[in-house]
């Protein structure tokens, strides 16, 4: 092999001991030509051992956290027979023409009297049904005058929520690994849970590389672009419920990138680097990761966008290197990183996949990689969007799904049923 054939990243490899340098160069050359399938990448990531940690927090802070243990009810729900509406409680076997109102029962008040023949109790929605009554007649079907209630019509419904008809003591109400949405928060509150056991949110470190990127809000000089990746990735991480512990922006410098990754590895559970992962002269990230002791499991995926995606681990820490183009960054997170991040929180994330008809032909020139194409799904139809490639971040705005095109498939015809991964 001629000297000119070696990777230009040798300026970094030259810093390593000679045996490490040779190994690094050989690995980079080999990996350039090696891609694993989407399925193989997902299996590799899925086999990575994670150990979610637990903590107990106040219920008011538990929104979108993940349950760390099954929730078993200690009480019945409802805890007593309660009225489903405003009306009059009486005995269904009582054929009297008129009923004397013996008391009024608001919600939260324990009845003082039992209902006998020719008697009823005026009751509010949620009120405890008194002894002797097994039916509540809706208020609209009655008339009351001088303490006497008469029926104006027939009401065959009992209009009573029976004690324990929803939940009984010992019932498993929520399963470990469930995400606590607003409805689950309400369920826990209804059971009297003031605190809840959840999994600790992983700490994520984000590093956006590239001498050309500028922080939003600053003046954009010639040749520069605004940094969108660290912001979109932060939003994706936080949308999963994890914590962005550090976010840094670095130039294409071995020293700066190495320092940023080393710091993040010490402080975070998952480190995510955007840019610097391909085969260009300034793509230092894979070699830096090896030098820091990260065992790389793969460096290329047969997917478009997202081919130069790097994945590795070091002493229980997880590292991803993703391409710098913003659509690639977004798609790789959604498909490959998001499931692992949820698993680190004890949740088995399953994306929503729908089958729908394509509204127009979709064809592509090359088929050696699977493709994930931004689309819009509406009322059972999949519409293609204007999409110029992995740098076209604005194509993600109207997109609510990713059309999956398997490797080796040239495309689809209008009307074909296709698989779309919905974006949450």
CATH number at residue 63: 3.90.105.10
Domain check: are 252 and 337 in the same one? Answer: yes
Domain check: are 189 and 227 in the same one? Answer: no
State the burial class of residue 15 (Cβ atoms within 10 Å of its Cβ: 0-12, 13-18, 19+): middle
Helix residue spans in 115-240 (DSSP H): 182-190, 229-239
CB under 8 Å to 19, separation ≥6 — which residues?
none
Examine residue 224 and state whether it is found in any structural domain, yes or no.
yes
Residue ranges in the chain whose pLDDT is less than 70: 1-33
Tell me how far apart the alpha carbons of residues 332 and 38 are, in angstroms, rounded to a whole number.
11
Domain check: are 157 and 255 in the same one? Answer: no
Domain check: are 195 and 61 in the same one? Answer: yes
Buried b (16+ CB within 10 A) or exposed e, 95-128: eeeebeebbebeeeeebeeebeebbbbbbbbbbb
Structural domain count, the chain: 4
Tell me how far apart the alpha carbons of residues 203 and 189 are, in angstroms, rounded to a whole number.
28
Distances from the Cα of 355 to the Cα of 327, 340, 360, angstroms: 23, 25, 15
Report CA 402 to chain centroid distance, whole Å: 16
What is the CATH number for 375?
2.40.340.10
Residue 371 host element (H or E): strand 370-378
Choosing from 343, 365, 382, the residue where a domain stops is 343
Domain check: are 186 and 151 in the same one? Answer: no
Give first-to-last CA distance, the chain, whole Å.
49
The percentage of the chain sitting over the pLDDT mark of 70, rounded to a whole number, equals: 92
Residue 83 host element (H or E): strand 82-83
Q: Which domain holds residue 47?
A: 3-52+201-343
Q: How many residues does the chain have?
A: 424
Tell me how far apart the alpha carbons of residues 308 and 276 are, in angstroms, rounded to a whole number.
9
Domain check: are 279 and 377 in the same one? Answer: no
pLDDT of residue 33: 55
pTM, entire model: 0.84
Domain check: are 370 and 283 in the same one? Answer: no
pLDDT of residue 416: 97
Domain check: are 188 and 148 in the same one? Answer: no
Q: Which residue has the tokens 């002493």?
A: 315
């Amino acid at each position: 092999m001629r000297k000119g054939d070696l990777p230009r990243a040798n300026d970094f490899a030259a810093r390593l001991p000679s045996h490490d340098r040779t190994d690094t160069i050989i690995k980079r050359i080999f990996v350039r030509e090696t891609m694993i399938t989407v399925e193989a990448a997902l299996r590799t990531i899925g086999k990575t051992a994670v150990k979610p940690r637990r903590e107990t927090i106040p219920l008011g802070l538990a929104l979108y956290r993940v349950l760390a243990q099954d929730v078993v009810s200690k009480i019945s729900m409802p805890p007593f027979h309660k009225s489903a509406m405003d009306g009059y409680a009486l005995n269904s076997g009582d054929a009297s023409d008129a009923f004397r109102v013996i008391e009024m029962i608001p919600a939260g008040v324990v009845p003082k009297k039992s209902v006998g023949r020719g008697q009823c109790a005026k009751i509010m929605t949620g009120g405890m049904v008194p002894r002797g009554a097994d039916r509540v007649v809706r208020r609209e079907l009655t008339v009351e005058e001088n303490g006497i209630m008469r029926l104006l019509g027939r009401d065959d419904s009992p209009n009573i929520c029976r004690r324990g008809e929803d939940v009984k003591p010992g019932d498993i109400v929520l399963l470990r690994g469930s995400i606590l949405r607003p409805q689950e928060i309400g369920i826990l509150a209804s059971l009297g849970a003031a605190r809840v056991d959840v999994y600790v949110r992983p700490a994520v470190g984000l590093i956006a590389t590239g001498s050309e990127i500028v922080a939003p809000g600053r003046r954009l000089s010639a040749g520069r672009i605004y940094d969108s990746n660290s912001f979109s990735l932060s939003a994706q991480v936080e949308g999963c419920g994890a914590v962005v512990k550090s976010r840094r922006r670095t130039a294409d410098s071995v020293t700066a990138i190495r320092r940023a990754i080393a710091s993040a590895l010490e402080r975070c559970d998952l480190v995510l680097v955007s840019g610097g992962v391909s085969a260009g002269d300034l793509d230092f990230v894979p070699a830096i990761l090896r030098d820091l002791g990260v065992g790389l499991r793969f460096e290329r995926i047969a997917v478009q966008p997202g081919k130069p995606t790097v994945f590795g681990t070091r002493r229980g820490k997880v590292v991803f290197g993703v391409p710098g183009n913003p659509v690639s960054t977004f798609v790789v997170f959604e498909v490959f990183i998001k499931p692992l991040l949820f698993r680190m929180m004890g949740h088995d994330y399953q994306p929503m996949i729908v089958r729908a008809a394509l509204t127009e032909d979709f064809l592509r020139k090359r088929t050696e990689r699977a493709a994930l194409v931004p689309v819009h799904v509406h009322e059972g139809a999949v519409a293609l969007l204007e999409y110029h490639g992995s740098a076209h971040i604005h194509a993600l705005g109207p997109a609510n799904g990713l059309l999956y095109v398997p490797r080796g498939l040239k495309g689809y015809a209008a009307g074909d049923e296709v698989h779309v991964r919905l974006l949450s």
